[in-house]
Structure 1
Amino acid sequence: MEILAVANIFNLSGVSVHINNVLRELVKLGNEVEVLVPSFLVSNKIEVLKELERNGVKVNSFTYDLINRGVVGKTSSYSYFLFSHLSTLEMSRISSIELNNIQNALKEMKPDIIYDMHEDPITLKISYIASKMSGAPIVKLLHDEPFRFSFGRGYRKITGFQGFVYDTLMYFFYKFDRRAYMKAIRDGKLRGVLAVSEAPVYLSKIDRLCERFGVPLKVLKPGNAYNYDLISKYRNLENKQDFAVFFARLVPQKGIRELPKIAKLLEPYKVIVFGKFANKSEETRFLNSISSNVEYRGYRPIDELYSTVAKAKVVIYPSHQDGFSLVVLDSLALGTSVVAYDIPAIRFVYNGLEPVKIVKEYDINGMVMKARSILQQDLSKYKAYHEDEKVKEFLNLHKSWEAVARQTEEFLRKIASMK
């Protein structure tokens, strides 16, 4: 099967981890895979492209042309935020540079399927035009919800007035985004939907839309995986130390605004923080508000991160936005308990696992209380929770990216055969 993958392979997130691993595994399964990176998502990190190519994934040669021209996407900018939603109001209009990008990819491959590996409406527009030009159907992958019926994403509760403005805009943008999905479905281009968990389906109610128009939808199980070969080297249930860890993208939606308050209430226990800030102002705000028990290490090599998490007794994860948390999955695989907010992604994937304690969203005191309880937990009880059969079964299910790719391939073949 020839698969044209529309994807952002550069972004440092769980999404790019999923994309890069699944693309490699799809090649191992005997598929021809080429990745098309929209110009607005291009980065000059050529080593990412080379790593994919070493694993048999073809990269649209136009991507290198864009890099050589100095084209670099700025997805964190306000202008991109507006562009990513407003541009879908006219699904068939596209810039000349993006048209050349698509045309070049279709010269190099005649795809059986276009696999759009994001929920974003802007990548749907790219896939929609590629589908019109090639005749290949689109399958869309949901990490987060593509739209909601609520007033924004609740950012007003996290970042105040700025969040209120964001939520207000998203209230209207969600209507545009849903309209883009509707058009792609009605025009017979969007023919299937995959999701990494039930969370994006629940929040968007896209299952109702799919049922209405007869579009197949599948929730991948497993939707993500951990690197078993690497993590098994660090897994530790014997020599746990009484400190906490936070690691994620250091942005408000991952709980970085709440973290200083949580850490302060956890004194005298140390809290080690790993990650990269999206901007300098957020970093300054954080560093000016942390207590003496916080150790900020920044973005560090994976061996240092895993080694530290494996020694810790608890990972604090006050995230407000996830589709399927790799932070929680990696922590469990390393033998470390987690305290997280009760958001759909945590509830649907991790509910019922003893080492994952769930508290009401925004309940800082509840999170601190659960974290303290784990830090003070007897090691024999701690180990028993992690060696529970349900936890073992869960980790066994999620230890292979091949398993994720096989389900993906099966669904893609099904949709490709329906042309």
Structure 2
Amino acid sequence: MTSVESGTRSLGEFTFECGESIDDLQVAYEAYGDFEATEEGSNAVLICHALTGSQNVASAGLAETAGQARAWWNDIVGPGKAIDTTEYYVVCANVPGSCYGSSGPPAENPETGEPWGTDFPPVTVGDWTQAQRRLLDDLGVGRLHAVVGGSAGGMNVLDWAVQYPDDVARIVPVAAAARLDSQCLALDAIARRAITTDDAWRGGDYYGGERPTDGLALARQIGHVMYLSKTSMREKFGRRAAGRDAVRSFPADRAAAYFPYREVESYLDYQAEKFVDRFDPNSYLYLTRAMDDYDLSEGYEGDADALGAFEGEALLMSFTGDWHFTVAQSESLAEACRTAGVPVAHHVVESDHGHDAFLVEPEKVGPPLRDFLAEGLDGRAIHDTASEDDGGEAEADFAPVHNSLFSG
């Protein structure tokens, strides 16, 4: 049985990148396994959760919480799994601004005794990284074996390589990019407006009363479409009508009775209903803005310059059906690593599942991740890509982007 620690740490005064401070930053976290440290480093692995995920990355804790927040990567993290909690000390922290126990809009403002609401300071990905560093210090963890994360959590991983390049030996951004493109920025903006134009939002001061659930539901539906691919939607739903027992979740116009309520509509309504029960609308506003704002090159001449101080190794993972964070974006990031002299492998997964593939296809994510954590880029994975002409020596740094570096 792997030991599990679940709780909240009080980290004292914290100044956000926006310049505002709070007197006592609370960070909720879960830790799995036992910590071991040597002169070379430690067995500690930090996992950065995605936008609406939580600290509950594996099976323990938050058992009553529905949706992604409950054990959202349970197929990857645990005893004998890709991130083996019998071998690694695994920590996952709920980021500031979220709603699963860390300081954020729904948390209590000690000065007023009421929820912070939109009085909470604006947060950035950089704030997430600094809060995690403070938490790890409090847990007695110095240098990390690896930082791993997907989606917005992958941006968090990249920020570790920039802010604390000497503190981590290996980074694994999964389904991530150096920044969002304009299409994703636009969709996030529409999602936020769905919340802020809901009459129940009341400028963010809805605690203790009616919540802007309709706006949050629409925001989630917009986001969920971003996470799916055309192929997966066609195969899952096509143009089929939902069953006769299906009930619409939103008000419909009079003409709706004449036309079918389609399976894809029913699916999105179901996902929205689950989401509004577990997530805070203000937190959704805060976290999407943090993700939108992130730019790896900010303050540097470019992405390669930003990564110049990182002396560890990197594994990038992307998915062919993902249009939210594309293969091309990951390859651009891999090229920046090469330019900066960071040893890197870009592992492309053939998948029709879209952005959610890193959550729903653990059999494709787990093997390369396990191999990289265990052996880095000097292990079997890299040597599998060597050509017969060089006698098995991997003279080329990397396989072509369309090839798996971890086949066989």
TM-score range, shorter chain: 0.3 to 0.5
TM-score by length of 2: 0.39
TM-score by length of 1: 0.38
Q: Which structure features the higher share of helix residues?
A: 1
